[in-house]
Structure 1
Amino acid sequence: MFRNRRILLYARRFFLVWICFLFITSWSLIQRHLKNWLVQAPDLKLSGSLQDTGIKVRDVRISKCYSWFSNCDAIWDYSLQDDLVTWYRIDMGKMQDTSIGQGFGWTSYVYWQPLYPNERGSAVVDLALSRNGLPLGLANERYNKIKNNDIDGYHVHSNTDNEFYVKDDSSNRFNPDMKWSAKFGNHLEDWFWRGDGIWCKYGRRSNGIKEIKAFIGEDFIESRPMWKEMVHCLHREGYSKPISISFQKSRLDDFTYGKEKDLSQISEPSLVMKRADFKILQISDLHFGRHIVSDSRKEKPDSIFRYDWPNVQFIHSVIRNERPDLAVITGHIFKDFNKNLDYESQILKMVSPIISNGIPFLFTWGEPQVTTEFKVNILNFIKSLPFCLNKFDLKNSTYLMLPLLLPAKTPGSQKQIGTIFAFDSNVTESYNFLDKFPRSPQSVYNLAFQHLPLHEYRPQGSFALIGNYEQKGSLDYIPHTKAFRNLLGEKDIKAISCGHEHGNDCCVLSDGKQQNLKNNMWLCYGGVTGYDQAYESKVRIFKIDTEKNDITSWKRSIKDTSKVSDYQYIWSRTLNTQ
């Protein structure tokens, strides 16, 4: 009996010691959970965009947010120096789910730690993904060093006294084997494993990353100057689509873009001719984002987005052949838009051939299924892109008036020779927008673009047309456009071009006498640029030639981009074809 009591007493003491030991060793974890439960992390308050605040990225990691945390957009977690600091989820304002994984009571996200302008320390200057072995970025650096016979390229591990280690999240222990470093010249630039496949490279804050964005899907294309896409994707358990990561660096010199890719080059709402001719590329009805369903976890990953890639390459090929000065996207860029579609990824894929070639572009609406809330977000994102001219429209619309100017021989001597209009397909609003601009006698090369056709695209009797005209159904769903069509003529607009009807890629001559209108005008279709099983993908090009004093148009198709079809005169001062 006495012996059993002693055993029970020792067991109790051992249990208390074990509890105390467990509490002491787990105190940091307990403290983190308690603080996330009881104290809400401060919001990231910005006076402007994140790019303009001077804030850099101090660190990046994947962390779990538990259901009892007060907030998952901002959490308390440990830094490299073991301080409990605030970490922010990348793309906090994104409506789509960018979580990396889920479990019972937790969801994991990619978080970043800010380095404020008044703080000292290193910043993350590069990111890479590699779950096995060295990341591609470090492997390339080592290859270049070895290729140049630099002995530092052979140094793989560094175990100096002043190096610091990161925690291995899987075991919650310090693990020096998880660190790889390389010494280059007079600088010690280190790659650190941050868990779950993320590697961070640290350096001077002047070279630090300014912003990190997440995109859903592996079909993401990064073409923006100053931005860099991580080579590999973050695969997510339970999801068919991985997360692609892109980040904005501080210096243009870190990229292969030329100095001409200056984001500030388009500073005024006008177009300046660089030579005697000016080409406009019309892209319409791309319908990107196919095979998207409401619940992405139930979707099979086979054949996702297979229709989009050929059309991106098609636009690339046309740009190489034509070298346009302006790209006009006349709507309907999404296929079956829904709240789970990552519209940012699809838009960047759409404009990648345009941005990578430094071409100014504008966009007009043609998305009837997109709600007003999403329209504002989509348009704001498009306006933020480099070379986008929609930023000069201060309203949440896509109405634009862009003067076409000759190069200035002396400061302030630019002469307007034409005008490019973009409309939002609302007839009343389009009429009011156009009516407020007086007609300039010197502006003769005038063109207009929108998504929906006018009623006058259905002339009666015999009429001239060039191209395919297969869809001839009623346009009663569009309000009457006769007054708007007459106003286009009064403003001396030589042609208007639309999208919407995939079976039509022609230009129809709107005869003023036959339709009881004030003048003749070519009404053109751009054709469908995206995938359509029934119709061949096409684009339309307009060319303004100040030496020949004419406007011409033609098309290129995905079947053979080296050939043009349906070449025609839109207007000629010499031939007076209008």
Structure 2
Amino acid sequence: MTRRIVRTITQLAALTALTIVVVYFLDNQFRVLPSAIHNVMPAHHPGLVITDITVTSCSHINLFSSCKLDANVWHRVEKDLYLRSGWVSSAYVHVKRKKEEELLADDKVLVDISVGRLDPSNGQKGEADERWESRPAGLWIKRSAKRHASDSQDAITAVDVLFGADAVDPRDRWSMVGTPLLLDTSGEVQEARLSVRRGKPSSPPKVIPRIDGNGKFKIMQVADLHLSTGTGHCRDEQPVGLNGGKCEADPRTLEFVSRLLDEEKPDLIILSGDQVNGETAPDAQSAIFKYAELFVERKIPYASIFGNHDDEGSLPRAQQMDLVEALPYSLSLAGPEDIDGVGNYYVEVLARGGSKHSALTIYLLDTHAYSPDEHSFKGYDWLKKNQINWFKETAQDLKKAHQGYTHIHMDLAFIHIPLPEYNDEALPRKGAWREGVTAPGFNSGFRDALVEEGVVLVSCGHDHANEYCALSSNENDNPALWMCYAGGAGFGGYGGYGGYHRRIRFFDIDMNEARITTYKRIEYGDTEHRVDEQIIVEGGRAISLQE
């Protein structure tokens, strides 16, 4: 009896083992079992890997052509490689991707990409499973069937499309493929370029702005960059005829910004709207990445709001903000969903050392674009009541949180479109008023809310050739609020008022004295000196020009 039981158990064990082997054999025709994955292919970057890539082209006049592939197998990057400028053709990049745990034994993982007319191997022999393979549009790919390939930091895990000869990608672990895809296009704006991510995706570094050990903090306000897809065309450049009359807007703009980043070494960048010149940016992402790359490279935090032109291109505000929020060193936020606009938020700058207290609060609000009631109020939109209420409630709540700070706390604000109060020519001011103030026709009262909550300065962009700071006083004629213009920085936007040279405004803050000094630096001419330097805040309050 005992022997029968033992024999039965042995038979069952053998049958179970055979079943496991059969199941493994059968299952291995479709996937690698989890235990095998653990032993053979540890996942350093869990998620998707790319196994193939191709380009499809289609004709708008041929009803039988299609740019679609089987959506169950291929993922299409939803960017027409012709930027929808082709009268006849469209083209799209498609990638085949899989989760690591779903890789089959004979699956190949993409490990390199090149673009050109000739085989990148240049006649050199490589392993059979890692030779260059040709794809449409001059695309060459190298894949590896080695089980460790997807675990390598060289494995390509994402593919994107950017445009223009000056395209860059500031995202972590992303890099541009050097040569544009070989398409039938004319002009560098239409040059479609691939960007690839290798290895594990990572979250952008979280940066908390802080007053330095000497009690100083410098803000660089960059207004109206007006960047394009591609290098762009200059408008109203000064001086005329420089460099043989050749002026590429974006390279010249970015070179200007780069120079001041290196010379001034700001602690925080405020981008106050119209970073993207919508009408010349059929791919807004490519334009956004160009300015972000400057700050990411130097590890400088930056915060942005939108102007009236940013979303006139390929992406609405919400999608642009999603993109910007995810970039390294970005402090930008969409803000509350239940109030008007995208980009109503604040940035806290902490006190020196290891303090957890805020020394500065910087409010950023979306001033929208064009008037929703052109019949009654022509021109531009205005800050809405729910935005102003949000600002006041937030400011009052933060005042309670700031009570633990033993020095003078200061509040600043940045917007794109100027407030109606900027129109008062009687206000004392320093700097040039070159063009009409294009403020909203309706006054929603944001200036008064700023004064009530103790904000000492507000600065805007929008009117490129205006570059003054004007002092607004309260009812008893005491200085209450400085209202500044940054001046336009970008050559892609207009500047044709009185020989205007592009410029950038700085706010040099000394928390030891609760003092704010502002000045501008210009792109051409007296480039080494500060222009219109003035102290506008002393002891935490706005002061007049005479003090």
Q: Same fold (TM over 0.5)?
A: yes
Which residue matches 1:539? 504
Letter in 1 for 2:389: N
Match of 2:124 among 156, 175, 189: 156
State the distance in 2 between where 1:496 and 1:359 align. 22
Evaluate the alpha carbon distance shift between residue 68 and residue 56 of structure 1 in structure 2; reply closer, same or farther with a 3 A threshold: farther
Residues 292 and 405 (structure 1), Cα distance of their counterparts in 2 relative to 1, 3 Å cut: closer
* Matching residue of 1:235: 182
The alignment status of 1:246 with 2:195, answered yes or no, reads yes
Q: Could you tell me which residue of structure 1 aligns to residue 454 of structure 2? A: 492
Residue 74 of structure 1 pairs with residue 98 of structure 2: no
State the match for 1:259 in structure 2. none
Amino acid in structure 2 at the alignment position of 1:282: Q
Residue correspondence of structure 1 range 75-474 to structure 2 within 5 A: 75=70, 86-89=73-76, 91-92=77-78, 94=79, 97=82, 108-118=91-101, 119-120=103-104, 121-132=107-118, 134=120, 156-158=124-126, 163-164=128-129, 190-203=131-144, 204-206=149-151, 207=153, 208-240=155-187, 241-250=190-199, 263-266=203-206, 271-275=209-213, 276-289=215-228, 306-335=248-277, 337=279, 341-367=282-308, 370=311, 374-391=316-333, 393-395=335-337, 397-407=342-352, 409=354, 414-425=356-367, 426-428=382-384, 429-437=386-394, 438=396, 439=399, 440=402, 442=405, 444-461=409-426, 463-473=427-437
Q: Cα offset for 1:408? A: 5.7
Q: Secondary structure at the match of 2:100?
A: coil
Report deviation, 1:69.
7.3
Q: Which is further off, 364-373 or 315-324?
A: 364-373
Cα deviation 1:242-290 (Å, max 9, x = unaligned): 20111111169xxxxxxxxx844217xx533343211111111122228
Q: CA deviation at 1:455?
A: 1.8
Whole-Å separation in 1 of the counterparts to 2:63 and 2:541: 76
Gaps of 5+ in 2: 1-43, 233-244, 368-381
Measured at CA, do residues 223 and 271 of structure 1 come closer, stay the same or move farther in structure 2, by a change above 3 Å?
same
Tell me how far apart the structure 2 counterparts of residues 112 and 286 of structure 1 sit (CA, whole Å): 34
Describe the superposition over 1:526-566 as per-residue Cα deviations: whole angstroms up to 9, x where unpaired: 00011135221111111222234311111111115433211
Q: Distance in 2 between matches of 1:69 and 1:304?
A: 44
Q: Is the 8 A contact 2:413 2:459 kept in 1?
A: yes
Q: Does 1:62 align with 2:38?
A: no
Residue matched to 1:173: none
State the Cα distance separating 1:109 from its structure 2 match.
Answer: 3.0
> Which one-letter code corresponds to 1:363 in the other structure?
S
Q: What residue identity is the alignment partner of 2:225?
A: L
Do 1:219 and 1:305's aligned partners in 2 also have CA atoms closer than 8 Å? no
Paired with 2:48 and 2:477, the residues of 1 have a C-alpha distance of 59
* Residue 478 (1) aligns with residue 437 (2): no
Contact 2:520 2:532 in 1 (8 A): yes
Distance 1:282 1:355 in 2: 16
Offset of residue 73 of structure 1? 4.3
Separation in structure 1 between the aligned mates of residue 315 and residue 518 of structure 2, nearest angstrom: 37
Q: Deviations over 1:27-60 (max 9, x none)?
A: xxxxxxxxxxxxxxxxxxxxxxxx9970011122
What amino acid sits opposite 2:505 in the alignment?
Answer: R
* SS of equivalent to 1:115: strand
Q: Which has the higher contact order (CA 8 A, sep 6+)?
A: 2
Closer, same or farther: CA 107–473 of 1 in aligned 2, 3 Å? closer
Residue 205 of structure 1, CA deviation: 0.8
TM-fit CA distance, 1:157: 2.2
Amino acid at match of 2:324: I
Q: Taking structure 1 as reference, are residues 291 and 243 closer, same or farther at Cα in structure 2, changes over 3 Å only?
A: closer
Distance in 2 (CA, whole Å) between partners of 1:98 and 1:290 is 10
Q: Given the alignment, which residue of 468, 474, 478 partners 1:506?
A: 468
Per mean C-alpha deviation after superposition, the further-off stretch among 340-349 and 558-567 is: 558-567
**Structure 1, residues 189-242: CA drift from partner, whole Å, max 9, x if none?**
654444542222335112211211112322312233211001111132144322
Question: Which letter maps to 2:323?
Answer: F
Q: Is the counterpart of residue 521 in structure 1 residue 481 in structure 2?
A: yes
Give the drift of 1:433. 2.1
**Distance (Å, rounded) in 1 between the aligned partners of 2:413 and 2:83:** 39
Among 539, 543, 547, the alignment partner of 1:577 is 543
**Residue type matched to 1:414 in 2?**
K
In 2, Cα distance between equivalents of 1:569 and 1:319? 22
* Structure 2 equivalent of residue 42 of structure 1: none
Query: Contact conserved, 1:101 with 1:109, CA < 8 A, in 2?
Result: no
CA positional deviation for 1:568:
1.3
Residues 1:373 and 1:353: Cα distance change in structure 2 (over 3 Å): closer
CA distance in 1, matches of 2:495, 2:517: 29
What SS is found at the alignment partner of 2:74? strand
Unaligned runs of 5+ in 1: 1-50, 77-84, 140-154, 165-188, 253-261, 294-302
Q: Give distance in 1, aligned partners of 2:477 and 2:284.
A: 41
Q: Is the 8 A contact 1:101 1:237 kept in 2?
A: no
Deviations 1:75-116 (A, max 9, x none): 38xxxxxxxx82332x22x4775589997xx85432221132
Q: Which moved further from structure 2: 388-397 or 542-551?
A: 388-397
Identity %: 23
272 and 190 in structure 1: CA distance in 2 versus 1, 3 angstrom threshold: farther
Aligned equivalents of 1:406, 1:216: Cα separation in 2: 41
Structure 2 CA distance for aligned equivalents of residues 95 and 63 of structure 1: 10
Change (3 A) 1:546 1:73: farther
AA partner of residue 125 (structure 2): H
Is the 1:228–1:247 contact (alpha carbons within 8 Å) kept by the matching residues of 2?
Answer: yes
Say if 2:517 is the partner of 1:530. no
Deviation at 1:131, TM superposition (A): 1.4
- Quick check: 2:502–2:523 contact (8 Å CA) kept in 1? yes
Cα pair 2:113 2:141 within 8 Å, conserved: yes
8 Å contact from structure 1 (residues 407, 414) kept in 2: no
Q: For residue 369 of structure 1, report the CA deviation from its aligned partner.
A: 8.1
> Which amino acid in 1 is paired with 2:271?
I
Aligned mates of 1:308, 1:501 — CA distance in 2: 19
Q: Tell me the secondary structure at the aligned position of residue 452 of structure 1.
A: coil
Q: Which amino acid aligns with 1:427?
A: L
Contact 1:100 1:108 in 2 (8 A): no
Q: 2:222·2:270 contact (CA, 8 Å) conserved in 1? A: yes
